[in-house]
């Protein structure tokens, strides 16, 4: 088992695109078995999504908002956040502008070591230093590991809503933190 002290959180670099794509594919193929059809999971290819991640890294304007977990030169997780997309509605009780975590994936072999909390903590810190006072994210509703992680961190779930992932019908749930500082406190206590 890897020693968590050997895992460093750092900004994503253009050279990380292929490794980020690999982590995404391996995480999906582990977490979404039984949630998405097998054909969807088997069709995933890191090579296809590496170009998309290269573009996302290049377009990122704030290094604090796109972080990777690096274990001995190997990317084992990543997290990206920014301003809320318009398709997630505000509820009216937010403590300021709403930020969103777009993605948080950790290589299945490195889950349970605090990597997800460390990545999320670094990006949330970057978001809270801006004008953001609240946070939202979405997770596939049947992703038990993701749901448990966000609920442990105090996320408040909306009702599940239908969505389509690569043509497959499923449901996603929005998790909210009306005050981003509360999430920062939980993440700090998880590290300590």
Distance CA 141, CA 144 (A): 7
Place of tokens 């389509």: 164
- CA dist 32 and 142 (Å) reads 8
Q: How many domains does the chain have?
A: 1
What are 97-143's pLDDT values in tens digits? 899 999 999 999 999 999 999 999 999 999 988 789 999 999 999 99
What is the C-alpha to C-alpha distance for residues 131 and 98, in angstroms, rounded to an integer? Answer: 9
pLDDT-above-70 percentage for the chain:
97
d(CA 120, CA 127): 10
Which parts of 72-131 are beta strand (E)?
74-83, 97-106
End-to-end CA distance of the chain: 21
Domain interval for residue 86: 4-191
Specify the CATH number for the domain of residue 127. Answer: 3.40.630.30
């Amino acid at each position: 088992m890897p020693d968590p002290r050997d895992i460093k959180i750092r900004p994503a670099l253009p050279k990380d695109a292929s490794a980020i794509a690999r982590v995404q594919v391996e995480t999906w193929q582990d977490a979404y078995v039984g949630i998405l059809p097998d054909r969807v999971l088997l069709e995933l290819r890191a090579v296809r999504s590496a170009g998309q991640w290269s573009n996302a890294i290049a377009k990122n304007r704030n290094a604090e908002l796109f972080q990777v977990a690096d274990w001995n030169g190997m990317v084992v997780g990543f997290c990206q956040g920014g301003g809320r997309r318009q398709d997630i509605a505000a509820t009216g009780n937010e403590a300021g502008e709403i930020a969103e975590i777009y993605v948080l994936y950790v290589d299945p072999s490195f889950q349970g070591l605090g990597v997800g909390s460390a990545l999320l903590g670094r990006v949330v810190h970057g978001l809270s230093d801006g004008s953001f006072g609240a946070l939202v994210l979405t997770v596939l509703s049947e992703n038990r590991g993701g749901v448990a992680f966000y609920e442990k961190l105090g996320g408040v779930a909306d009702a599940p809503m239908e969505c389509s992932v690569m043509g497959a019908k499923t449901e996603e749930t929005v998790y909210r933190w009306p005050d981003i500082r509360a999430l920062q406190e939980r993440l700090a206590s998880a590290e300590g």
